[in-house]
Structure 1
Amino acid sequence: MADDETGYDPRFLPVPVPLPRPLGDSEIRELPYPRFTVLLDPVRRLAAVTGVNVDGASLRDLPRSGTWRLDPRVPDAEQAGADVYAANDLDRGHLVRRRDPGWGTPAEARRAMEATFFYPNAAPQASAFNQSKELWLGLEDHVLEYAGALRRRLSVFTAPVLAPDDPAYRGIQVPRRFYKVVAWTAADERMPQPAPDGDALPAVLEAAGFVLDQSDLIDLSQGALAIPRLAAFRTFQVPVADIEHLAGVDFGALVEADVLPAVAGLGDAQERGEDGWRPLRAPEDVFLG
């Protein structure tokens, strides 16, 4: 690893967005990479939070390259490495997508893309591929397109939900759910029009939260991993407040910046559950304001 890893930049958007942090006092390893940061839970051996800055205006479409490897900055025993994924139906699921930090000059983009192949940026996902998983993989692109007429910049936070009752397998617990929170800024149309000198409208922070559920795809009832043939991923747009409660992560101002309206007649995040979530079947189902 190089010594000049910049990590996630909280001032990347016009409105500062600090990197979310796990609640409580559990030990966390903070690992900066080019344009993204992983907060690794050394007990679970998986990320509790990842944060990446995405500059859509200067993304590079480079050929895939990179090899999965352990991060030498932390002990091997604190990372879920190759043994977890060998000879089974689990994929090494990128948390920070390979493409997201790949912007700037070709050399900068290549270095950032290859850094996404360190194991702290992976989490076990069922290999079954269906429309819901395809939708999950494209959520950043969908939000980026929505925000593209403005600044074309996003900050994205993704990780598994590290639930205490996740099923045990090969020395780890396989997460059943994953979360993603995307933040961007829009022009604040409530403010007066730009001044004659061309000053832009002030920026307002906006955010959207999502959950991918692979519970039906993870079957360890016989002591070995099996992927049921007829099961599927489920994808939801979820209030950021719910994700904060579900994942035990402090999202700060992103809770109030959420564009998903409150669901009438439902309680707080602790009470609401999936009945208050918005099922997603296609990009058109995503609500962005």
Structure 2
Amino acid sequence: MTSPTTGGAGYDAGFLGIPLPLPRPADRRPVRELPYPRFTVLLDPARRLAMTTGVNIDGPTLHDLERRGDWRLDPRIPASEQAGPDVYARNDLDRGHLVRRRDPGWGTVEQARVATAATFAYPNAAPQASVFNQSKDLWLGLEDHVLHYADAADLRISVFTAPVLADDDPPYRGIRIPLRFWKIAAWSSADEGDPPALAAAGFVLDQAQLVDPSADVFAVPPLGAFRTFQAPIGDIAQLARVDLGALVDADVLPRAAVRARAWTQLHAPEDVVLG
């Protein structure tokens, strides 16, 4: 059995039956590729945070396991390249899972336990303000909403999540705190009799109003300060400087919204456009 700290098979580009490579940096910055059970993290060693993550989710065999796992550094890369425990000590920052704990937890129960435990590696974390409200709960539930939308016995999705590593992110304890996060969910979609086609939806979370590194404060009201948007995937590619390949053309947003570069703030799952 593979140890959660030593890797795994990683993200599977053929999981959906349509080739979908893991997004890579558009600016060719160096990254560390870290495969884990059913997901992969591409870590930016200069920022000490992930520039992208990719996970495969098999909806019908997901397990709802108890939360179990201890955050740990990944021994495959130097500790100096990871945002480790010192970043999160004595402040209001959460170790925000990028690949959600539940997402790779499918297959047999034992496989699911190993995969969910692996999500507690520091390369899969990014600092997030600790306050929870409706908008952050919505962000954490987007994968489940996509799974429920398709409502198919053989449903599979692949999800890509990362912080936006902007040059003007505020400095804090040797890193820069990301103010935005992006997520893209992708699935195979086809009308009866047609070949499968790639479909995808893109989202951005904004925590800028909650971050004040100078005061070690990261969870100050107003309640609406976590804002979640559905955004054109092409905009996400430019914002995050990530090559999203076929995902841009697979965007389920109406073409008029894509052309207008319209971002829609989400208040409930019913606001999400999936088809």
Q: TM-score range by the shorter chain?
A: over 0.9
CA distance in 1, matches of 2:237, 2:124: 20
2:13 aligned with 1:10: yes
Query: 1:14 Cα shift?
Result: 1.5
Is contact 1:188–1:204 with CA below 8 Å preserved after alignment? no
CA RMSD of aligned residues (A): 1.6
Unmatched 5+ residue regions in structure 2? none
CA distance in 2, matches of 1:106, 1:31: 23
2:219 aligned with 1:227: yes
Change (3 A) 1:206 1:150: farther
CA distance in 1, matches of 2:72, 2:18: 35
1:282 matched to which residue of 2?
Answer: 268
CA distance in 1, matches of 2:263, 2:236: 11
1:239 matched to which residue of 2?
Answer: 232
Change (3 A) 1:97 1:226: closer
2:75 matched to which residue of 1?
Answer: 72
CA distance in 2, matches of 1:7, 1:265: 32
Query: 1:264 Cα shift?
Result: 5.6
CA distance in 2, matches of 1:150, 1:61: 17
CA distance in 2, matches of 1:209, 1:266: 15
Is contact 2:205–2:227 with CA below 8 Å preserved after alignment? yes
Scaled by the length of structure 1, the TM-score of the pair is: 0.90
- 2:186 alignment partner AA: A
Match of 2:55 among 49, 52, 56: 52
2:89 aligned with 1:86: yes
Match of 2:202 among 209, 214, 236: 209
Is contact 2:92–2:216 with CA below 8 Å preserved after alignment? no
Change (3 A) 1:210 1:15: same
CA distance in 2, matches of 1:226, 1:147: 36
Is contact 2:104–2:115 with CA below 8 Å preserved after alignment? yes
Matches within 5 A, 1:1-289: 2=3, 5-149=8-152, 151-189=154-192, 193=193, 201-220=194-213, 222=214, 224-230=216-222, 232-263=225-256, 272=261, 276-289=262-275
Is contact 2:205–2:228 with CA below 8 Å preserved after alignment? yes
CA distance in 2, matches of 1:101, 1:264: 32
Secondary structure in 1 aligned to 2:30? Answer: coil
Is contact 1:176–1:213 with CA below 8 Å preserved after alignment? yes
- 1:58 alignment partner AA: T
Secondary structure in 1 aligned to 2:159? Answer: strand
Query: 1:228 Cα shift?
Result: 2.2
Query: 1:72 Cα shift?
Result: 0.1
Change (3 A) 1:226 1:153: closer
User: What is the CA deviation profile of residues 113-164 of structure 1, one whole-angstrom value per residue up to 9, with x for unaligned ones?
Assistant: 0000000000000001100000000000000111222631000000000000
Secondary structure in 1 aligned to 2:56? Answer: strand
Query: 1:202 Cα shift?
Result: 1.8
Query: 1:266 Cα shift?
Result: 5.5
CA distance in 2, matches of 1:250, 1:98: 25
Scaled by the length of structure 2, the TM-score of the pair is: 0.94
CA distance in 2, matches of 1:212, 1:250: 19
Secondary structure in 2 aligned to 1:44? Answer: coil
Query: 1:261 Cα shift?
Result: 1.4
The structure with the larger Rg is 1
Secondary structure in 2 aligned to 1:84? Answer: helix
Identity over the aligned pairs, expressed in percent?
Answer: 65
Query: 1:204 Cα shift?
Result: 1.1
Query: 1:226 Cα shift?
Result: 4.4
Query: 1:219 Cα shift?
Result: 1.5
Aligned length: 271
Query: 1:240 Cα shift?
Result: 0.5
Secondary structure in 1 aligned to 2:255? Answer: coil
